Chains A and B, each alone.
Chain A
Amino acid sequence: GDSVTQMEGPVTLSEEAFLTINCTYTATGYPSLFWYVQYPGEGLQLLLKATKADDKGSNKGFEATYRKETTSFHLEKGSVQVSDSAVYFCALDSNQAGTALIFGKGTTLSVSS
């Protein structure tokens, strides 16, 4: 079945460091891909998305490019801030109808000043 694999955390960085969180997927067809972020004590929030190969999603300085050839959707940010500390989830929607998202296990990011 369809699945998402994320790099294990926690990821610990200093402020202004470069961030990469790896995400790869397995899916039949052409899924849409998402990154969600969960701040402590809150629900998940959509961070960015991409719906087809080579699309780049971006938001709040974060970017991810849909790479069909490597089945990847890695999250990057050029300069992290303390306020970026959260859990990041990669997800896919296999039927393109916005239903039944399949999530990775999440990667905890901790940024120190």
Chain B
Amino acid sequence: DARVTQTPRHKVTEMGQEVTMRCQPILGHNTVFWYRQTMMQGLELLAYFRNRAPLDDSGMPKDRFSAEMPDATLATLKIQPSEPRDSAVYFCASGGYEQYFGPGTRLTVT
């Protein structure tokens, strides 16, 4: 049963620290998405990649967020420096026509 995996599942950090979230997409999926979910904003698309190339990162605050796919089995989302307003659940999804979501990383920045 192929699944998208994300690590860590939970992260608590202090303001100003770097945070790295990792995602392993389903093998063979060539498109990877990063979403952020908050109570106020709902689900927001941050960025997505196809064949490891960034296609759209317009939803991402450029000054502190960065997303990469160093290889086909790993996508990363980094926040540096983190701020309390970054507290949210971050989801990775992979697929193409149908998107398969990972379980999310719950980030709390104090």
Contacts and interface: CB of A to CB of B under 8 A. Distances in A.
B38 to A, nearest CB: 11
Interface string A76-113: 00000000000001000100011111111110000000
A106 B103 contact: no
A36 B48 CA distance: 19
Interface residues of A, number: 21
A43 B101 contact: yes
B98 A99 contact: no
Contacts, number: 52
Interface stretch (A15-23, A44-52, A58-66): A44-52
A42 B103 contact: yes
B45 A105 contact: no
Interface in B1-28: 4
A93 B67 CA distance: 22
A23 to B, nearest CB: 14
A99 B96 CA distance: 7
A106 B43 contact: yes
Best-surrounded residue of B55, B91, B98 (most CB of chain A within 10 A): B98
Contacts of A93: 97
A103 B98 contact: no
Contact of A43 (B48, B55, B104): B104
11 contacts: A42-B104, A43-B91, A43-B103, A44-B101, A45-B101, A46-B99, A100-B48, A103-B42, A103-B43, A105-B42, A106-B42
Interface of A: 32, 36, 41-46, 49, 89, 93, 97-106
Given A44-B101, A98-B99, 8 more contacts: A32-B97, A42-B104, A43-B101, A44-B93, A89-B43, A93-B97, A100-B56, A103-B42
